[in-house]
Structure 1
C-alpha cells in the first residue's frame, strides 16, 4: 500500500467510535416490515451530517408492478422509499486516470425478533460486551451499512476525491421481496461494481441460490368436535401437502446441480415458516394456510420452479377426496429471485481480493450462499457485478444476534481501500 492508501486506512480507524455509535443508533431502530421509516430517516440524517449528497428513491408499487423483477407483496403502500447518496467524480481528476463507478448497497430492514422471551437482552437496545454488539440487525446488516457509509466518509475526510462515482445505496424489503433494490435499478441507480456488506464475514460471495415465497390456503368444513367425522379439518389437510413439498425439495437436491452446488449435500432448502388455522379448540377448523420459502439452483428460473410447486400441490390434493373436490389455493408473493454464479476472477472480486490480501496478508476465502441477497437486483436487472463481503456475525435471524466490532472496522477499511483502487483516487 502506498502512503495515500495508508492515510485513508488511518482515517477509517480514527472514525472507529463514530462508526460504532452509528451502528448502535441504527440497531436501536426497530425496522421490521412496515416500520422502516425511523431507520430511513436516521440514515438520511447521518448522510446529511457527513455532507454526503442524498436523494430518496420511492418504491412506486404501481409503476414497479410492470417490471419483470417485481415481487407482489400484501403490504404495498405509497409512502415507502430508499435512501441513496452519490459522490460525484472529482473534477480535478487528471486526464487518463482509470476510474470505474461503484455502488455500496445495504439494507435497513430487519426480521422480527419474536419470540422476545428467547432473548437475554432487549433486541432494540444495543449492548456491547467483549467486543461484540448485540441487537436485532446488528449483524444483518446495520453494521455493514454503517461500515460502507463511513468508508465513503473517510475518503473525503482524508482529503481525497474519486475519478468515478461512488454510490451509497440503503434499501428496504431485502428480507422479503427485493423491491427496494429493484426500485433503485428502475430509477437508474447503477454502476460498474457492487459490494454488499452482508454478515458472511470477509469472504467473496461467488454464488447464491434462487428463492421464492408462496402461500397455500386450504378450506375445510367446520363442525362441532362431537361430529368431527362429518367435517373436514383444514389444518390436518395441510400435512400431506407439506409432505409432498418435502419430497419436491428432495427431488431438487437429488437432481444434477451446477458447480459449486454439486459438491454440497443439501443446498436447496424448503422452510415452512408460517402456519395459521382455527380459532376454537372444540371446532373443526374451516380454513388453514401455510407459508413457505423454497430455494432453487442458479440457471433455473422462477417460472419453472413455480410451476413445479403448483403441480406438486395439485398431485397431492388428488390423493385426498376432500382436497380434490376443494383444491388448495397457491399464491406466490414476496421473493421470486433467481440465483447466479460469479468467478472470483471477475474484476470487482479480483480488486476486492487484492484489498483483502494487503490488509490481512492472505487471499480472501470464497463463500457459497444457500440464501439470497440484493445482488439479485444487479445480476438480473442491472449492470453492476460484484459480491458480498462483510462483518462477522452470529445468530442472525435468531435470538441474541451479535456482530464482532473489529470485523466491522475491517469491513470499513476494506471498502475504503476498494473505492480508492476501483474508482481511482484523486488528491
Structure 2
C-alpha cells in the first residue's frame, strides 16, 4: 500500500466515526492499530488517559527519552455536530471521496491534520532522533478543550520546548491565537401582570442595563491593538427571557463571548464584566454573573524557530513558505503554552470547518505529511 493510500484509509476510517463529543476512544483505537508494528517493536511509547467512558486521550512518544528538546504535536479527535444531515451533498460520516476531495464532518477540522501527523509520526519512529516528539490526540476540544485541560493539568506540556498544533490553516502558519471568555448574566426579577408593572420587577430591563454597562466598560479594552493579535472583541450572542406577552418576566439571561489578546487579557475583561454587573438596575431586579469558560491568549514570536522550520519544510515540499498569521479562534495551544515555547499552528484544511459539506483536498493532506515528517526529523 502506498503512503497516499495509507493516508486516505486512515483519514476515511476516522471521519466515519461520529465523534461528536463522544467516541474519541474509537479514533484512538484506529491510531493504535495503524501504529501497531511500531508499538510492538517498542519504537513508540503509548499512554491512554481516560477522560470519560469511551473517551480516551492518546499520548505517543518517540525519540530520545532524555532529550532537552521536546516537540509536542497536538490534534483533537472530536468533531462538531453535522447539523441537518439532509442538507449535505454526501452523508456527513461517509468520508465520500470525489474529485480529489474527501467530504465529511471533521474532514477539515481536524481529522485530516491528525491523520497526516500520525502518518508522519509513524515514519519518524523508524529514524534516530536526538530530540523527543510527543503526539497528543485529545478529546472534547470543540466543547471546552476538555482533553487538553486534563493533559495540561497532569503536566504533559511541561517539558515541551515547541508545540505544533495540526489545525487547518489554509496554508497559513499561525504563531498566535486569541483567548476566550464565555459568560452568562442572569437577571432575577418578580412576575406581575403587564398592566401592573409597579407590582413586579422586569428582569429583561435588568439585562438591558447590564448590556449597556458591559459594552461601555469593555470598549476601551477592545480599542487596544495588540501588535500580534490585533483587537479584542466582545459580543452578546444569546438573550432569553419572558414567558408570555402579558406577564412581566421574572427571570432572563444573556450570554456573551469575548476574544482576548495579550494586552487586553482575560483578567482585564473579567474585571470589566464584574464592574458592569454592579450597574444600577430597576428596583427589585438582581443580577448574577457567571464566568463559564476561560482560555488565555497564546502568542509566540512570528519568527520563532518552529514557524521557520515549518516554512522551510514547505519550501522543501515544493510549496510556498506560507503566510505567518494569527488565529481569531481557539485551539488546544493555550493549554500547553508557556513562556519561551515555540508555537506553530499549521495543518491541512480550508474554510469549511463546521460547515455543511465540509471537505479537505487530499493533495493538501499528502503535502502536510511531507511537511510534518520534515519538521519531526529536523526539530
Deviations 1:178-210 (A, max 9, x none): 342233233332422211111112322122222
Q: Which residue of 1 aligns with 2:154?
A: 187
Match of 1:302 in 2: 266
Structure with greater strand percent: 2
Is residue 2:12 matched to residue 1:24? yes
In the alignment, what sits opposite 2:367? 410
Specify the alignment match of 1:327 in structure 2. Answer: 286
Contact 2:47/2:59 (CA < 8 Å) preserved in 1? yes
Tell me what 2:317 maps to.
359
Q: Is the 8 A contact 1:123 1:135 kept in 2?
A: yes
Contact 2:206 2:287 (8 Å CA) reproduced: no
Distance 2:202 2:37 in 1: 58
Q: CA deviation at 1:243?
A: 4.5
RMSD of aligned alpha carbons: 3.2
Contact in 2 for aligned 1:99/1:164 (Cα 8 Å): yes
Residue 55 of structure 1: which of 47, 53, 66 is its match?
47
Please say if residues 211 and 293 of structure 1, whose CA atoms lie closer than 8 Å, have aligned partners that are also in contact: yes
* Residue number in structure 1 paired with 2:295: 337
Q: Distance in 1 between matches of 2:205 and 2:22?
A: 32
The Cα shift of 1:218 comes to 2.1
Report 1:274-293 matches (<5 A).
Answer: 274-277=238-241, 284-293=248-257
Relative to 1, partners in 2 of residues 1:231 and 1:360: Cα closer, same or farther, differing over 3 Å? farther
Taking the TM superposition and a 5 Å limit, the aligned residue runs for 1:4-403 are 14-33=2-21, 36-48=24-36, 51=39, 52-59=44-51, 81-89=56-64, 100-114=69-83, 116=85, 119-156=88-125, 159-190=126-157, 191-223=160-192, 230-235=199-204, 237-248=206-217, 250-255=219-224, 257-262=225-230, 267-277=231-241, 284-315=248-279, 318=280, 320-322=281-283, 325-334=284-293, 336-360=294-318, 362-380=320-338, 384-403=341-360
Conserved 8 A contact 1:90-1:163: no
The 10-residue stretch of structure 1 (102-111 or 281-290) with the greater mean CA deviation from structure 2: 281-290
The whole-number CA distance in structure 2 between the counterparts of 1:338 and 1:302 is: 6
Q: How far is 1:340 from its partner?
A: 3.1
TM-score (norm 1): 0.76
Distance 1:402 1:218 in 2: 42
- TM-score, structure 2 as length reference: 0.85
> What is the total number of aligned residue pairs between the two structures?
373
Cα distance per residue 1:379-412 (max 9 Å; x no partner): 23x8742210111322313333222221111111
